């Protein structure tokens, strides 16, 4: 990545979910002008951190039909066979699951992995275990989406809260048509995103590989 590209990534405008936190930091810094100088530093550092954490860079999805894209930035921690969350009603037949762990340094805006129609959105409350653990898929608080493809097959993407994540934001609704690479939500402060591929589709990525949400090709239909 070039210096200009890196700079654009760091200075990308914040996601709307981050604006209240940035405002709090600026308010604390402003209060420091009247009360004590150390508040200026605390508020300023917090505001800058939130500007970085909630950055929402533009992404360019590959212009080729039939691709499944990464739903999040981060690195792949699991590539394995697993059944989708039961609340989605997609059955118990195992399919390929690609789990992406997002550190606090990664962009946390989630992206739609493939074009289709959102057939189900289910939020389930749970624990806040370390998102890099395999059991986080079952035990942690999560928001799951089922996406119906034009050919009738189904895929799923799951936003999973992490050890310090306490808020999952999802901006799509059941019945909504979505396109590959489009934004659909954000998870605050460290998390994981699991992608369940349609049955019969094999992933093209491996554990440890770095993902760029909305751009990295995970599989081909």
To the query of whether residue 2 is one of the catalytic residues in this protein, the response is no
Q: How far apart are CA 203 and CA 221, in angstroms?
A: 10
* CA–centroid distance for 147 within its chain: 16
Among 103, 119, 137, 191, the active-site one is 191
Sign of CA pseudo-dihedral 16, 50, 144, 164? negative
Q: How far apart are CA 115 and CA 8, in angstroms?
A: 27
Task: Yes or no: say if 97 and 83 are a contact pair by the CB < 8 Å rule.
Answer: no
* CA–centroid distance for 45 within its chain: 24
Hey, which residues are catalytic here? 191
């Amino acid at each position: 990545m070039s210096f200009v590209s890196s700079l654009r990534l760091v200075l990308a405008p914040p996601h709307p979910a981050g604006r209240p936190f940035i405002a709090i930091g600026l308010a604390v810094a402003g209060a420091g002008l009247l009360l004590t100088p150390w508040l200026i530093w605390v508020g300023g550092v917090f505001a800058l951190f939130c500007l970085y954490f909630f950055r929402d860079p533009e992404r360019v999805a590959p212009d080729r039909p039939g691709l499944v894209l990464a739903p999040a930035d981060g690195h792949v921690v699991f590539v394995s066979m697993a059944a989708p969350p039961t609340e989605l009603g997609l059955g118990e037949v195992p399919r390929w699951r690609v789990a992406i762990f997002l550190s606090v340094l990664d962009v946390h805006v989630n992206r739609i992995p493939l074009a289709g129609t959102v057939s189900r959105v289910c939020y389930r409350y749970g624990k806040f275990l370390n998102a890099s653990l395999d059991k986080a898929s079952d035990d942690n608080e999560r928001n799951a989406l089922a996406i119906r493809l034009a050919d009738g097959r189904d895929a799923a993407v799951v936003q999973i809260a992490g050890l310090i994540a306490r808020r999952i934001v999802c901006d799509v609704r059941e019945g909504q048509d979505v396109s590959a690479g489009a934004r659909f939500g954000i998870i605050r402060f460290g998390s994981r995103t699991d992608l369940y591929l349609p049955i019969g589709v094999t992933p093209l990525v491996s554990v440890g590989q770095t993902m760029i949400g909305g751009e990295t090709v995970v599989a081909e239909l």
